[in-house]
Chain A
Amino acid sequence: GAVVSQHPSRVICKSGTSVKIECRSLDFQATTMFWYRQFPKQSLMLMATSNEGSKATYEQGVEKDKFLINHASLTLSTLTVTSAHPEDSSFYICSAGGTGGNYGYTFGSGTRLTVV
């Protein structure tokens, strides 16, 4: 089945630095990738939708200059958290859309970001 590989699984960074999270579709081409953020015991909140070769579409309230998304190829999308602050500490999850079959969206394993 479809597999999305997400790295790193955990990252700790200092306040003010930037962190890049990668998502790769291993056995299929993902024209669309979704990025979610999840705070403890809360739901997954969609941050942005990225389409290969075009600018990402951000959800209302998400700062596009802070969360930079690049989807330069059909198998790789990246999310860079710039000038991270402790309030950005969260679980970030990517998902490839419409992989067919069971109509499900395939999720990466998530990245636990802790900003100290």
Chain B
Amino acid sequence: GQSLEQPSEVTAVEGAIVQINCTYQTSGFYGLSWYQQHDGGAPTFLSYNGLDGLEETGRFSSFLSRSDSYGYLLLQELQMKDSASYFCAVDSSYKLIFGSGTRLLVRP
């Protein structure tokens, strides 16, 4: 089977740094993506890792270790608007499989 595991909820303070982990087990793997989704909205793309290592995009960074089937999303300088659900997704056999999602709550 295919599974992607994430923590269900994370709470952090405005201005802080938070890390959301993702472990995966899929039949194929071409890369790991991260998406943000606000309530009632569609997912928006944040970051992608096709190779091991760290990718940085502004306040967001993502890391991948293919040997460990593990990745994480790092959000820095948290803002209230970052309160949302975050999904990791594996590009597997030409389709995107989503993780269970992490609900991030940013407090003042």
Interface residues of A (CB under 8 A from B): 6, 32, 34, 36, 41-46, 49, 93, 95, 97-98, 102-110, 112
Contact = CB atoms under 8 A, between A and B. Distances in A.
27 contacts: A34-B95, A34-B96, A42-B101, A43-B87, A44-B43, A44-B87, A44-B98, A46-B95, A46-B98, A49-B95, A93-B42, A93-B43, A97-B96, A98-B94, A102-B45, A103-B31, A103-B33, A103-B48, A103-B91, A104-B45, A105-B45, A107-B43, A109-B41, A109-B42, A110-B41, A110-B42, A112-B40
A106 B96 CA distance: 11
Given A43-B87, A103-B91, A110-B41, 7 more contacts: A43-B101, A44-B87, A46-B95, A46-B97, A103-B48, A104-B48, A109-B41
B59 to A, nearest CB: 16
Contacts of A34: 95-96
B71 interface: no
Interface residues of B, number: 21
A104 B95 contact: no
Contacts, number: 52
Interface in B66-108: 87, 91, 94-101, 103
Contacts of B42: 6, 93, 107-110
B95 A97 contact: yes
A105 B48 CA distance: 11
State the 6 A-B residue pairs at the shortest beta-carbon distance, nearest first: A104-B45, A103-B48, A44-B98, A107-B42, A110-B42, A43-B98
B94 A97 contact: yes
B38 to A, nearest CB: 11
B101 A95 contact: no
A107 B87 contact: no
A108 B87 CA distance: 16
Contacts of A36: 98
Contacts of A32: 94
